[in-house]
Structure 1
């Protein structure tokens, strides 16, 4: 088609697994390629191909993202013992998301998609809350040991010159356990800059929380790095933008968040962010209605759905049974990536299309046409539950109307 929107720079496209892989193709076929001369550099991150390439494809996709600046990723399987057998894997490959985060040195930002009829469980939340999660260290790179009765655990730092600093952790009179965690000043600094840059990008206040009153060295380091970078690099920019940065203890932050109306970014350490992002997503309604973007400190973006591969629906699909799978988060990963690609390339037509596709998606749900999971949440009086493909076709009908109205 001669009138399709042109793209000057490729998007990095990372395909995935199971039901989301099926939806991925449907979205492209129904909602993207009829309108866009889609220019992507494709990487198959499906578990079979990751296994075939010894996971090299994951590393290659991350490097391509650094090269082109924008990627869109389908949900992928992180294998466990059951998947080892099911997929006949060579080894239990690591999480592709974790690998990509580490290579990009990125921070994950997750935000709910607000639609009429799906009301947050916390009634005061009238605006989205974006959760910013540090993606390095803490218990995700921990070292653990069992400690038998009579043993002694010490924390030992061996300096470059061979000298040591020791601190007693505990003398075990009975059996116990011990864990060591670490983080890096550079990674904390990257986390801070990504949060400050994102806040400026969306013009929202930034909150940051840890527990420095208890963790007087580890958590306090996070607080100090954030404060130093803010004062020296971002304070004037925040004042010009009319937004605020402040630090608070995480227990105080939880109380503030629950009482708030939303409309801000909440930055958390790795584990805190893991837990709180699911809490925020559930309280807003559904992980299927969350955007997720990984942002590196040097301005590289990777968009993805916040949920998994919808395995139960995939097994139904393989049996030829009808599925009603929510594709909104995957669809918004595409629109987010297309909009950012358009922004970086000064391609207004691509940015406008992304906006209109999101508008058509929200309109479809607010007019009562939705998948089964959303129907269970929706307070709309009239609802029509449709299957996976029909939902996308209904969005396409409204997208056509929006594009036609714009031409008149």
Structure 2
């Protein structure tokens, strides 16, 4: 067997939860470690360890990405009340992705993995659609309160000079809830520049959408910052590249995207991007076929799958039942991180390995061997449905045949 590819600088490896944690281990054992002398700095972001460390491990992992520049993350559970009870948690910990995004102040770019034998549900789509998701603030950093008796909710601003400003949110006569969100001009500017640069790199049009007609201060600030930066820094570059930037309302954007042929970058605020990337992934085929990379202003990259922890399959797995879980997005998180590590460190073997592994994975599906979720969507006449581990073995076979 050929000598393993050497790494000089580690990847930041963040393990996760449930079925994706099983996939994580299998991918390393079957598709990575036989060919690469894998060098990682490991952080266990499984829910149990996050609880034991009071979520310090998530912060440590994000800071490690700042140090080493490249990380790869497994899907993790963001606990709700049911999960708090199920795992006997000390607290309802925040989204690890939200924590990491806030620390890195980056932008998430999510793009579907395209295979020829799976046609998008939206018939007009011919090219991948990349959803660019702002990675700071909004509901992921909100402050919430449950109001159980009559009360007046107010926004109170206390300035450095001691002066105050107040704004009434609502006068509650009956129980209800209130949430306060914030964002930062600097983070919005980083988001805008990341989107403009990514569009220039891909030579694709950039669409940006919020709801400034309703949110006349919060969303309007996003719109204004994008326009100011475009006019002062990117208008000529976009014209030279033959691409376009425009703003539209989020509901209009949905209609435009559905009627389009794809091939654009669609920039969204944090929560909008979360929802719309799932819509785009599903319409292209499967949430397990969506890549995701967080890019920070100072050149840090964090790769992950865009889907969750595949809870339903995990419960079947722990009962000893067979699963047919699609590992494509998790595999592409690894290959994306390894490719970037190779690019940054000048290790051609790593970048070539990533390219070959992705080619083998796509070839496996296009030749008719796939997991159950894709078989339901694939238009090939002869399909072979395999289980979770068999799918990885089929990729391995094609990788070694290249």
TM-score for both structures, normalised by structure 2: 0.93
Alignment of 1:2-401 (within 5 A): 3-145=3-145, 152-170=152-170, 178-401=178-401
Q: Say if 1:129 and 1:266, in contact at 8 Å, map to a contact too.
A: yes
Equivalenced residue count is 402
Q: Work out the CA distance in 1 between the residues paired with 2:10 and 2:148.
A: 56
Q: Could you tell which deviates more after superposition, 359-368 or 75-84? A: 75-84
Measure how far apart 1:151 and its partner are.
5.5
**C-alpha deviations, 1:243-271, integer Å up to 9, x for none?**
32221222221121111111111011122
Measure how far apart 1:337 and its partner are.
0.7
Q: Could you tell which deviates more after superposition, 61-70 or 142-151? A: 142-151
Q: Work out the CA distance in 1 between the residues paired with 2:323 and 2:127.
A: 31
Measure how far apart 1:63 and its partner are.
0.8
Q: Say if 1:11 and 1:341, in contact at 8 Å, map to a contact too.
A: yes
Unaligned runs of 5+ in 2: none
Task: Report the equivalent of 1:405.
Answer: none
Q: Could you tell which deviates more after superposition, 107-116 or 152-161? A: 152-161
Measure how far apart 1:171 and its partner are.
5.4
SS at match of 1:377: coil
Q: Could you tell which deviates more after superposition, 19-28 or 175-184? A: 175-184
Q: Say if 1:32 and 1:38, in contact at 8 Å, map to a contact too.
A: yes
Measure how far apart 1:16 and its partner are.
1.2
Q: Say if 1:288 and 1:327, in contact at 8 Å, map to a contact too.
A: yes
Measure how far apart 1:209 and its partner are.
0.9
Q: Work out the CA distance in 2 between the residues paired with 1:306 and 1:169.
A: 35
Q: Could you tell which deviates more after superposition, 143-152 or 288-297? A: 143-152
Q: Say if 1:148 and 1:172, in contact at 8 Å, map to a contact too.
A: no
Q: Could you tell which deviates more after superposition, 376-385 or 81-90? A: 81-90
Q: Work out the CA distance in 2 between the residues paired with 1:153 and 1:58.
A: 33
Measure how far apart 1:136 and its partner are.
2.1
Q: Work out the CA distance in 2 between the residues paired with 1:210 and 1:85.
A: 36
Q: Say if 1:14 and 1:71, in contact at 8 Å, map to a contact too.
A: yes
Q: Say if 1:335 and 1:358, in contact at 8 Å, map to a contact too.
A: yes
Q: Work out the CA distance in 2 between the residues paired with 1:354 and 1:244.
A: 31
Measure how far apart 1:195 and its partner are.
1.6
Q: Say if 2:98 and 2:140, in contact at 8 Å, map to a contact too.
A: no
Measure how far apart 1:155 and its partner are.
4.1
Q: Work out the CA distance in 1 between the residues paired with 2:320 and 2:38.
A: 30
Unaligned runs of 5+ in 1: 403-408
Q: Work out the CA distance in 1 between the residues paired with 2:384 and 2:163.
A: 70
Measure how far apart 1:40 and its partner are.
1.4
